[in-house]
Each structure stands twice: as structure tokens, then as C-alpha cells.
Amino acid sequence: MKKQVKVLALAGIMVLGLAGTDSVHAQKKSKKGSTTPATPSAAPAAAAKKEGIKPFSEVITAKARTTNGLFKTHKVDDKWYFEIPDSIINREMLVVTRLAKAPVGIKVGNQQYGGEELNEQVWKWEKRGKQVYIRVPSYATKADPKSDMFESVQNSNLAQILASFEIKAYNKDTTGVVIDVTDFYNGDIMAIGATDQIRKAYKVIAYDATRSYIDTVKTFPINIEVKTAKTYRAAESPTDNSNGAVTLEFNTSMLLLPKTPVKARIMDSRVGYFGQSQIDYGTDAQKAERTAYIHRWNLVPKDTAAYMRGELVEPVKPIIIYIDPATPKKWVPFLIQGINDWQVAFQAAGFKNAIFGKQAPTPQEDPQFSVEDSRYSVVRYFASDIPNAYGPHVSDPRTGQILETHIGWYHNVMNLLRNWYFVQTAAVNPEVRKAKFTDAQMGELIRFVSSHEIGHTLGLPHNFGSSYAYPVDSLRSKSFTDTHGTAPSIMDYARFNYIAQPGDGVTKLHPQIGEYDKWSIKWGYSWIPGNKTAEQEKEVLNQWTLKNAGNPLYFYGRQGTTLDPRLQSEDLGDNAMKASNYGIANLKRILPNVEKWTYQKGKDYSDLKEIYTEIVGQYNRYMGHVLTNVGGMSENFKTYDQSGPVYSYLSKAKQREAVSFFNQQLFTTPLWLINNDQLSKFDNGTLLNRIKAVQANTLVNLLAAPRIARLLDNEAKNGTAKAYTLPELFKDIKTSVFAAGRADAFKRNLQRAYVDRLGYLMTTESELPPGFPAEYAASYGLTPINVSLSDIRPLVRAELKALSATTKARSAAGDAITKAHYDDLSVRIKNILDPKK
């Protein structure tokens, strides 16, 4: 999951007129009654005539509807013209195209609701002869203009031409040009229209200009907003295929970037920030060096002297995020509070009143306000059955400066919150034992998610390592959780406190802005005096980071890797096995009561089914949390001035503890998940198969080639005394999966999965997608290994031979299903070991 009227914090902007003021172009009559410009210029007119460019008054006639702003826009009949002043030529502009409206049924992720971003580019208007071009520069490479490499970089970084326009006229004082943009905005330009994903999803055949139009063009002091409706002939439609088309409305914002870019802040892998990277050829390094900058808003103290004395100071321009007028009124205060909760974090950076949430002004209060206007940051509310929310931001590609945000808030996120909160806390929280939460309860959960998404708009990614900082048993302490919540960072996916047990008295069950959040905002947003360069600031920030190194409260763990068991989604505490045992104990308390706690008079059993299924899903999450401990490594990014390893394997005891957990809680049939009385109300024969799938899939992942690769690597580096080995893993799994006694249907399913997985390891060469870079894969836990040349197959072959003896012995005794099962396993093993026969 993942926003007082305020102009964006942009330096060096030239305001060319009053935003939104309409006027009929001033004219005067000549003696003969003809219409001529009020301020004619004979020389430019003569030049224009000679060049074939018309006089201004012949293009922008008395009919023109003119608006002043970043530059003037004119509408003459059905034509739209831009009057671009010379001062704007070659200035960089950030252009963002969003959906304004979309039909029901669009199913392209994050491209289906009004307000969702489709494309981002930088444009430069370039004048050459009788033409004006839109160039699209790239910032993938750079070099200081003073460096010897600057010319070489420019020669290899040509800005592409997106469009060209004939100059129709010069403006009255020849300080600008007039171009016709009608065909451009009403044409099929992918940069300002349907994306490739949308076109493929609905099999777009062609663009239909006859069913498309420019709706509005609005100009403001630093931006121009163009709204269009575009229709595409398509083989499929999100609504009705008989239409043979898809119609979408788009809003394209053209925002003038600062003439003088703000100072960038260099990224540090030890502190989590979204960012951007460039290959910098202007450094003294004897290689092409990649430089990365964080994404952050530009906050500057109003009173620098007071700031330097350590006083809290207001920023020159605070961050203002408006709530979409389409938002249900009862949720607005909670969304605003989630935004304002970040004020305490900005105090750690020396700022007060640095961020505010506000209700959007009404048309009566501000007729010019629009949620599409790129000057405003907005939480957009989507009428959607998707249970989600996300917090993007738009940043200056030159420096990482965040310019605005349009947070996506889906209506059905409330259902997700209700399910999570119920399943994770109902054992200790009587207030949620009902089908529908009160507005106050749901509002607090909305506030929590709002705070999380705002963190993203401030530049913070998920910190999946944060929740590991708290010992498991501390989360059973009322005094601890009242003060610290469930994790040091609201940017972790540390949902709700599933660890607290009945009788612990814990009532603070959800995350809050924590110590890591305050630290990361201090690191990213503190104003560092002395007019230091980005490189000099980097050294200051490095010293701050070194002071906190080793303190788990300030640890940042990236998202996406399965290497480090600390870096997981939805987990809590510093020991997944212990935490999951507590979580399962609570699920055992909740499940027998689901029907009673979800009762609604006159309704069917859909809620019972939904919550029951969520409980199985939560159980599955616990298995995933434990799984990463086997073959797991700790990842602690460091610099040369820090001692100790970056990567180190978990101890043998910890890995063995994880497999022991599986033997007790997973491979031993979890009969407590089977409540026949409740299942009879909704299950048509599928839920038990889901439980079997949880068991089998976990077992398969336990024996994944990348995990085994790390077991073998650990053994080679650290020896059998310290490393948890593959033969030990086989032996420990079999303790439960092939335990003595009659195997039930679940255990038989597991045994077949085990044998089939061993068979897969005897034939597979690699589990990496073709062409996937090995080093990149390894960093995310997909450790590459050449299976056929490794020790995997000899060890698997030995394991299969040992199993063959077991299956033959067990098939000789037992009932019909037991005998058939072990006979089948014997055949499977034989076919794996000798496939030719």
C-alpha cells in the first residue's frame, strides 16, 4: 500500500501573467475599418510577410479567447494556439499525463481511475527557423559543463524530437511565437494519451480523431493544464464490445522546472529513500561512476539564524496535501490526520508546521482549484473494489526534488483493513469481534494507512527491516507498545499486533510514526548550512549514519529480497518462529468464533467464508516468515569505514529451529484449521486443498535450488560444524513428513510433494528466468547455481535411494490406501533414478 492554497516550491520561476484571467484580445479599427493589432510593429510584420509567417492579428483574431499564465493560450473557433515567449524557449518543463476519467472496467494496474499517472517526460521548446520543436532530453548521463567530458557526453545524449510546429505568427512585440497545438493535443501521441499497456489490453486498432477533442486548456503562473477526450478503435472494450472503441479522458500538466535546480542529496544504501541514478562522467573516478540522488521536497527554513541555533523553524514553503472533494466526508478528518502525523518527524529535521493536510476548497472558495492542477498535491479517492492505496510522487529528474503527489486511495481498502485487523487482533481485541467496524474504528485504520502512504510521497520506500528491532516478547507488553507501537517505522509492513496474547493487556495494536521515521526525515530533510556541495553534505550525513550504525532502531532493510529473514512483509518481532507460534495460538482462538463474530441477520455466509479464508492466508504468511530463515543471510550495508561483514549466514541453530517449527506447525497436519461445522456453511470442497497447497508449496520452496545453493555455499565457507547442511535439512524434514505411523491424506500429499521435488532437482538446470543477470538475481535471493555440476544431484540421489527402502518396507503393511500410496512412491522414485526404464 502504498497526499490553504499552496504553490509548489520552485525557484527561479518567471510569472508572465495572472492565472486564469480571460480577456478578449485588444483590437482597434483602422481608418478604413479594418481590424489591426492595438500595438502594431511594421518591421516584424514585414519580416513575417517575407517569411510566409502571418501577422499576429490574422492568426489571433478578434474572436480569440485568450488566457494569461505561464504563457498565453488562445482559442480561435475550434483551434488552440500557444503563444510561447522567448524567455520560455529552451526551459525545461516536467510534463505529466494522467487519466482524468475512465470507463468502468479498465483492468490495467494503476492505469484505470481518474488521477492515476500514465506518463512523465521533460520537454524543452526549441525554436529553429520557422519551426518550433518539442525536445525530450534524457538525464541518464551527465557531466559538469566545466569538465573535459561535457562535450563528449552531449554528443552521446541527443534529446529526441517529440513534435514539430510551424510558427504561425510572432507576438506583438516579437518576444514570442504563436503555434497551433490543436492537432498535437488532439492527435495520437502516446506520451499524452493511452499507454502501450492500455492499447494491448484492449487491442487498439487505430486512433479515431472524429470521436476525440480538446476539452479545456488552462494556464497558470507555472503550469498549463490540457484536458482531452480520446477515442481508440479497439477489438475489445472494457464496457461493451459493440462500441468497437475505448474512450478515455486525459489531463496533461506542463510544469515549468526551476531555472536553477535545487541542490541534490546523494543517496546512501543505509538510509531508505526513493531516488534516481545517473552515470556521471564529470567525476575524478577512473571509471564511469553512477551517482544517485534521493527524492525529497525542497524545505528551506524561513529563519536560518534561528534554525542554526537549534530552534524549530517553519519552512519557506510547507508541504500541502489536499483531500479530493470526491472523498466521503466522514473519512476526510482521518486522512488529514494521517498527513499531519508526519509533523513530529519533521521536527527531528528542525522544522515545525512543515506538512499539512487540508480539505480541498469548494468552487465558491476557489473557482480555479482543480485536482488535476499540477501545482496541487492531492489524495485522490477512487470508487474502486480494489483493496489498495498507494503514494507516488513526481520529482525533478535533474535533482530528485519532489514537486507534487497524487496519492491513490481505493474505496475498498477499508475491506482489507477490516480483514487484517479482525484476523490479527480479534483474539485480544473484543471491539473488533463484529461484522462492521464503527466509523471511529475504521477512521483510525484509515489514518494509519494514510500516514504510510504519505511516507512514500515524502520519498520513503518500505523499510522491511524495521520490525525486527523489537523483541517478540516486548510486543506483549502494554507499556512498551503504548510508547513504541509495533515497529520503529510506519514504512514497514508491520500491520497489527498478532503477537499479543489474551491477558497481556495490550491495546495499542497498530504502527505509528516511529524512531526510524524521525531519523530518516532528519537525514533527508535537515537543512545543512554553509553552502556545502552535495559531496560535502554527503560526508556530514555519513557521520550521522555512523553514529547510529548497529542500532536496530535505525536499521533500514530494503524490500524485495528473500535473503534476509529480517526483511519481510507482514512480520513482527526478532524471531519469526516465536512470533508465528504466538500468531497461530491466536488464530486457534479466533477461528471457532468466526461465525458468531461475523453474524449479520438476513445475510448469507459470504463474510464467514471471507474471514475463514483470511485465517488460512494469515497462517500461510507465518510459514513464509519462517521459511526465509533456512539458508538465510543477514544483509547490513556498510562503507569502508565500518568493520564487520555485510553478508553473514544465520546460525545452524536458528535454521534448524525454523525446520522444527515446520515439523510442528505445518508438516504435522494442522487439524485446528478444519472446523467442519463452519465449513459446511460455505465450502464446496476447496478449502482443504488450500491447506494442502500451503503445506506442499512451503515444502517445495524449502527445497528451492537458490536456497540449497546458499546451504552449499555456507558449508564450503564455514564447514559442517557451523553450517546447516543439505543432508541435515533432508533428515530434519523427514522427521515429520515421513514419521512412523499411518499417513493421513495431508501427509500423503506432502510425501508425494517431497519425492516430486527431489525428482525436479534431478532434472532442472536452473530456476532463473532466461537472460536474468545472475548477480542481480542473487541480490534478491535467487542465488544462481549450476545444478548438474553441483553437489545437489549426488545428495538428492542418495536421499531418493534411502527413501526407496522406506517406501518398499511400508507398502508391505497397512490398509489399501496406504499400500497403494507407498507403491506409487516407489514407482515414482524408480522412474526418477532410472528414467530410461
203-260 tens-digit pLDDT: 999 999 999 999 999 998 899 999 999 999 998 888 777 778 999 999 999 999 999 9
DSSP state of 164: E
User: How confident is the model at residue 159, as a pLDDT?
Assistant: 84
How many angstroms separate the CA atoms of 59 and 168, rounded?
Answer: 7
Query: C-alpha cell of 224?
Result: 498549463
Query: C-alpha cell of 717?
Result: 565457507
Long-range interactions of 543-547: CB distance < 8 A, separation 24+: 545/268, 545/270, 545/271, 546/641, 546/642
How many angstroms separate the CA atoms of 497 and 424, rounded?
Answer: 7
**What residues does each domain of the chain span?**
21-86+92-256
How many angstroms separate the CA atoms of 114 and 100, rounded?
Answer: 4
CB 253 within 8 A of CB 245: no
Cβ neighbours around 142 below 10 Å, total: 20
User: How confident is the model at residue 48, as a pLDDT?
Assistant: 46
CB 253 within 8 A of CB 101: no
Q: How open is the CA angle 92-96-101, to the nearest 5 degrees?
A: 155
Contacts of 736 (CB under 8 A, 6+ apart): 662, 663, 664, 667, 668
How many angstroms separate the CA atoms of 165 and 161, rounded?
Answer: 11
Q: Report the candidate in 156, 85, 79 with the shortest Cα–Cα distance to residue 125.
A: 85
Count of alpha carbons within 13 Å of 751, Cβ hemisphere only?
28
CB 430 within 8 A of CB 496: no
User: How confident is the model at residue 2, as a pLDDT?
Assistant: 42
How many angstroms separate the CA atoms of 444 and 338, rounded?
Answer: 9
CA distances from 254 to 229, 324, 777 (A): 17, 21, 38
How many angstroms separate the CA atoms of 535 and 530, rounded?
Answer: 13
User: How confident is the model at residue 28, as a pLDDT?
Assistant: 35
User: How confident is the model at residue 77, as a pLDDT?
Assistant: 94
CB 422 within 8 A of CB 432: yes
Q: Which residues of 89-122 are buried (b: 16+ CB within 10 A; e: fewer)?
A: eebbbbbbbbbbebeeebebeebbbbbbbbbebb
Q: Residue 15: is it exposed, middle or buried by C-beta count within 10 angstroms (0-12/13-18/19+)?
A: middle
Angle between helices 652-665 and 687-702 (to 10 degrees): 160
Q: Please state the pTM of the whole predicted model.
A: 0.87
Q: Residues in the chain with pLDDT < 50? A: 2-50, 286
At 728 the three-state DSSP class reads helix
Count of alpha carbons within 13 Å of 146, Cβ hemisphere only?
2
How many angstroms separate the CA atoms of 356 and 373, rounded?
Answer: 18
CB 19 within 8 A of CB 231: no
How many angstroms separate the CA atoms of 284 and 505, rounded?
Answer: 60
User: How confident is the model at residue 151, as a pLDDT?
Assistant: 60
Q: What is the mean pLDDT of the chain?
A: 89
